[in-house]
Amino acid sequence: MKAAVVTSFATAPACADFPVPGPGAGTVVVRMLAAGVHQLVRSVAAGSHYSAGDRLPFVAGVDGIAELDGRRVYTGGCPAPYGTIAERTLVPAGWTVPVPDALSTELAAAVVNPAMSSWMPLADRGVPAGGTVLVLGATGASGSLAVRIALHHGAGRVIAAGRDPAALERVCADDRVVGVRISDDPTTTTAALLAALDGGPDLVLDYLWGPVAGAAFDALRADSLQHGGRAVRYVQIGSLAGRTVELDAAILRARRIEVTGSGGGSIDPALLFAELPRLLDAVVSEDLDVPLRVADLADVERAWSADGPGRLVIATG
């Protein structure tokens, strides 16, 4: 079969022959239709993600839309060395969720992974009705979805922080969303966040980490005399601004703050499978789309490295 095969962490996956998977105990073979090239997929293919191993070759892709028993399903969880950017792949039995008829294959492949990053923390413990959510990195694909998903889950106010002014303006089209421009100067970012907090937030969804997280922690600490008793749950999701942060010990005493992470290894599988059908339905009912561009599997190497707008989706069959 043809697949997007990773043979080196220094080069893009290329379309090549790969052994056809055979079903084993607890697994089934599915015919892939499309798979998204998410930031996670790129990091694993580059060997830089925490889940990446060091065994080559392997097939790229962590999730996607497949055909099983005549139905379109969202799937993933492929055992190594298989992945989803392939004509066929191997997935755990039961690791499939039907895709609504109204949702296109390409959009489903593009949107579920970035939407899940904010949906799961909100579904896990929610946000107080009418509460405030701060999204750091709100102008990216995942972050802009997080703003809309927070409102869907009952947030009364969302503070959207991002760098791109045009994208920030689009994200703030809803009156319940307040925009904050992230600056290269952490002190300026801290001041802008502090001005927008207004006693919040109840939940932080952080796609950036690094110096931006440091600025956010400084804003939360500075606001502590007035609002230190208000609990804050800080969920670390991505690290586009840096993998480490300098954390002042005072923040842990100044605020009732809980710092957790949301990723593949920290999500309860039972909750994931309970929420995936709800997420897929919400993509349709709430029009949770992302810009996307589609390339054929045969063209994956060129498309992987090409600049272009939107989430790259590889059509596999």
pLDDT in tens, 64-117: 999 999 999 999 999 999 999 999 999 999 999 999 999 999 999 999 999 999
Q: How far apart are CA 39 and CA 43, in angstroms?
A: 6
Across 8-12, 37-41, 52-56, 183-187, least confident range: 52-56
**Local confidence band at 200 (pLDDT 50, 70, 90 cut-offs):** confident
Judged against a pLDDT cut of 90, whether residue 223 lies above it is answered with: no
* pLDDT at site 2: 98
* pLDDT at site 79: 94
* pLDDT at site 266: 80
Residue located via tokens 């956010």: 216
In the CATH scheme, what is the code of domain 114-261? 3.90.180.10
Q: Which residue has the higher pLDDT, 155 or 227?
A: 155
pLDDT in tens, 249-303: 988 888 889 999 998 778 888 888 899 999 999 999 999 989 999 999 999 999 9
Q: Which residue has the higher pLDDT, 307 or 311?
A: 311
pLDDT in tens, 132-186: 999 999 999 999 999 999 999 999 999 999 999 999 999 999 999 999 999 999 9
From the centroid of its chain, how far is CA 105? 18
Q: Where in the chain is the domain with CATH 3.90.180.10?
A: 2-99+287-315, 114-261
* pLDDT at site 228: 59
* pLDDT at site 225: 66
Q: How far apart are CA 35 and CA 83, in angstroms?
A: 10
For range 34-58, the mean pLDDT: 90
C-beta of residue 227 within 8 angstroms of C-beta of residue 195:
no
For range 189-217, the mean pLDDT: 94
Judged against a pLDDT cut of 90, whether residue 37 lies above it is answered with: yes
The CATH architecture to which 2-99+287-315 belongs is Alpha-Beta Complex (3.90)
C-beta of residue 268 within 8 angstroms of C-beta of residue 88:
no
For range 232-239, the mean pLDDT: 95
* pLDDT at site 24: 84
Q: Which residue has the higher pLDDT, 57 or 23?
A: 57
Q: How far apart are CA 281 and CA 186, in angstroms?
A: 39
In angstroms, the Cα distances linking 4 to 49, 111, 233, 270 are 18, 20, 38, 30
* pLDDT at site 292: 95
